[in-house]
Structure 1
């Protein structure tokens, strides 16, 4: 057993708002943490199955352009709602917010399944579901980002992040084929039921098992808008918090386009076939699991700097994808996956340790904007860069920019606010 004390080792630490001594059991015996990881993995299985079912159903009822609209339109309301969701997470109880958001997702999916049973699958229905679902997701995500720091001892944050990542990787392997089988035999309504059940599992776990041990510091603003302004003000004041947010933006916007656009273009242009693309992705997934396992055992003194420097190897992998032969692409994808598994756990823990607990929800939502609002722009820009130059030039350019940003960020993490 461990109690909360005054340990401040590792990265720059935000003020702790912890009342009294709190006992933290070892993670191997912590039923709250185990319940959190298990329920999150179940939810991820449902999400992946839903994504597969939605994509397949959209392809059946509309044109490729319409299918693309269905898969992408949910990002717009999610991006617009994220900042509000972050302020809400810092303002009211995060666990209750997550439970309500999950119940909202269950209602959306259940009603949609009923409508499909009556009128069948249609493009307008898919668009409405994607929009509403995206908005509810934006409420859930920032609230979930505040829980780890309130559940485990700061020294166990890396293990918790690595355990979540391993569970999510396994969930993807299970959820993808499950979604394909369910939509093929039961249609989209059946996939919606599967996803709704997964949300019910995590809602029950949050209500019964997953109970934070530390109090949630409530924001003191007069309104949500005031809280939002104060959230950006916090980033202006805190060098370490601002540096991590910038680094996360760069990480998402550099790696995402290379894997989603560059790898596909390289595989297609070289004539390696779709089978090779699947093998590349599998190689990365396996390597990521190995990296996460290493993160559970390796305890560097400065989590943030170590994680950022590890990502320089990931940047090299991004550059290599565009220029090396087929065997080299496997090595590059292994490097990208391994560093993702290792650095993601380290940086996730560093984020929880560095950000002031009162601003975790707002800072998490700002970080998520790179995925939801800016990723489509980054994908498009990277595609234009490939068209103007070549896959090799584009991958090397973005890899070099990625490495430079990680070096800059690692240097700034030595600065004490």
Structure 2
């Protein structure tokens, strides 16, 4: 994919203007780019706090309610987040993204601080956890799409893969640190302490946005008369642009195929084979280490066509998903290593291709639409996959979803190649 987007006349003019602006800006090497380094570090700190927060929330919910209630606490935040995401995307394209992210971070800090104060006075309760999950999810949906517009405005096109790979590495490290940190903090200080840790992480990224992370390129203004008009124009853009629409469809398929296999299929296979919970943790750790290796390779490998290469690499990931249902324990390690490695490599390539392909004026809206697969459709995909296992077997379900995944990646790569 050449990076050209088949947008309307105004979209093409905005893209050309952005490229002209990029030519006039001096971009330092990433190794000396303090703005980019600050962005990666602050994101990692925030991710560490998020992982710790979700560990603390899950543990606290398990202590104060039934398993069904705990599931409700962990899942209820997805609904307001999904409903708010499209609005957040339109807002990100309409208002300065950096300012939006700062305000959203302050909102997340306020929610967590108030909740910690309530816990200090009245203790942890199911109603409080539900309210916090709902409000926090809605505020979080304002932040995400705005963050999705920043890479294109901070670095030159050739550095987008390295930036995405750097974020991948930082986020993997954050998960390794955040999970045990969350368990340690909630065990010794309770949920309020975890909330404070997460609030501090948001404060770090807010300070970073104010003092260090400053975009080098201007943000193209949205052309609609209202947020609702901007939303309609965002979907209209996807109808006009074959490349943008194909990438969004591919991302939907990636999320909805891999997520159920790892969250449901792997757990069921490990349980049915009698390998124990320890093996499940080792499988996940193997995937995480391999993903870091894949991200490192992405920093050095520069294929001519990022999008097509990334999509074709994911065919190997589809094979790994299919194998989980059949291979012995050692084979599952190999399958998880394949899934992790291809995730680290292809995610960096496809994230950069997404930034290069989408018209800058529509980045926020397109990012929010892509995120809907995780927030709104993932619960449906998980449930459907579970039913498929019940009706057939773990092996058949994994094979079926792996085949669908592979076919979708081949179709997407061919469609992008035809679009030029």
Contact kept in structure 2, 1:12 and 1:416, CA below 8 Å: no
- Spell out, residue by residue over 1:175-199, the C-alpha distance to the aligned partner (whole angstroms, 9 max, x if none): 0000011000000000000000000
Aligned residue for 2:224, secondary structure, equals coil
- How many angstroms does 1:244 deviate by? 0.1
Is residue 118 of structure 2 the alignment partner of residue 106 of structure 1?
no
| Aligned positions of 1:349-388 closer than 5 A | 349-388=352-391
| Aligned positions of 1:84-95 closer than 5 A | 84-95=87-98
- Name the counterpart of 1:127: 130
- Name the counterpart of 2:204: 201
| Aligned positions of 1:180-195 closer than 5 A | 180-195=183-198
Question: What is the distance in 1 between the residues matched to 2:177 and 2:272?
Answer: 30
- Name the counterpart of 2:346: 343
Question: What is the distance in 1 between the residues matched to 2:338 and 2:143?
Answer: 32
Question: What is the distance in 2 between the residues matched to 1:375 and 1:110?
Answer: 29
Select the residue among 177, 181, 193 that pairs with 1:178: 181
Is residue 20 of structure 2 the alignment partner of residue 22 of structure 1?
no
| Aligned positions of 1:218-229 closer than 5 A | 218-229=221-232
Question: What is the distance in 1 between the residues matched to 2:204 and 2:233?
Answer: 35
- How many angstroms does 1:414 deviate by? 1.4
Question: What is the distance in 2 between the residues matched to 1:31 and 1:415?
Answer: 39
Question: What is the distance in 2 between the residues matched to 1:347 and 1:77?
Answer: 27
Is residue 315 of structure 2 the alignment partner of residue 312 of structure 1?
yes
RMSD: 1.0
TM, length-normalised to structure 2:
0.96
Select the residue among 55, 62, 70 that pairs with 1:67: 70
Question: What is the distance in 2 between the residues matched to 1:116 and 1:228?
Answer: 38
Aligned residue for 1:210, secondary structure, equals coil
Question: What is the distance in 2 between the residues matched to 1:302 and 1:174?
Answer: 34
Aligned residue for 1:17, secondary structure, equals helix
Question: What is the distance in 2 between the residues matched to 1:272 and 1:17?
Answer: 57
Is residue 120 of structure 2 the alignment partner of residue 117 of structure 1?
yes
- How many angstroms does 1:223 deviate by? 0.6
| Aligned positions of 1:282-293 closer than 5 A | 282-293=285-296
Question: What is the distance in 1 between the residues matched to 2:83 and 2:223?
Answer: 23
- Name the counterpart of 1:410: 413
Question: What is the distance in 2 between the residues matched to 1:71 and 1:416?
Answer: 41
- How many angstroms does 1:413 deviate by? 0.8
- Name the counterpart of 1:145: 148
- Name the counterpart of 1:12: 4
TM, length-normalised to structure 1:
0.97
Question: What is the distance in 2 between the residues matched to 1:166 and 1:357?
Answer: 25
Is residue 259 of structure 2 the alignment partner of residue 260 of structure 1?
no
| Count of residues in correspondence between the two structures | 409
- Name the counterpart of 1:49: 52
Is residue 337 of structure 2 the alignment partner of residue 334 of structure 1?
yes
- Name the counterpart of 1:213: 216
- Name the counterpart of 1:35: 38
- Spell out, residue by residue over 1:216-241, the C-alpha distance to the aligned partner (whole angstroms, 9 max, x if none): 00101011111000000000000000
Contact kept in structure 2, 1:239 and 1:415, CA below 8 Å: no
- Name the counterpart of 1:6: none
Question: What is the distance in 1 between the residues matched to 2:304 and 2:2?
Answer: 5
Aligned residue for 1:24, secondary structure, equals coil
Structure 1 gaps, min length 5: 1-8
- How many angstroms does 1:12 deviate by? 3.1
- Name the counterpart of 1:3: none
- How many angstroms does 1:10 deviate by? 4.2
- Name the counterpart of 1:277: 280
Question: What is the distance in 1 between the residues matched to 2:328 and 2:114?
Answer: 50
Question: What is the distance in 2 between the residues matched to 1:60 and 1:286?
Answer: 32
Is residue 389 of structure 2 the alignment partner of residue 389 of structure 1?
no
- How many angstroms does 1:320 deviate by? 0.1
Question: What is the distance in 2 between the residues matched to 1:268 and 1:16?
Answer: 54
Structure 2 gaps, min length 5: 6-11
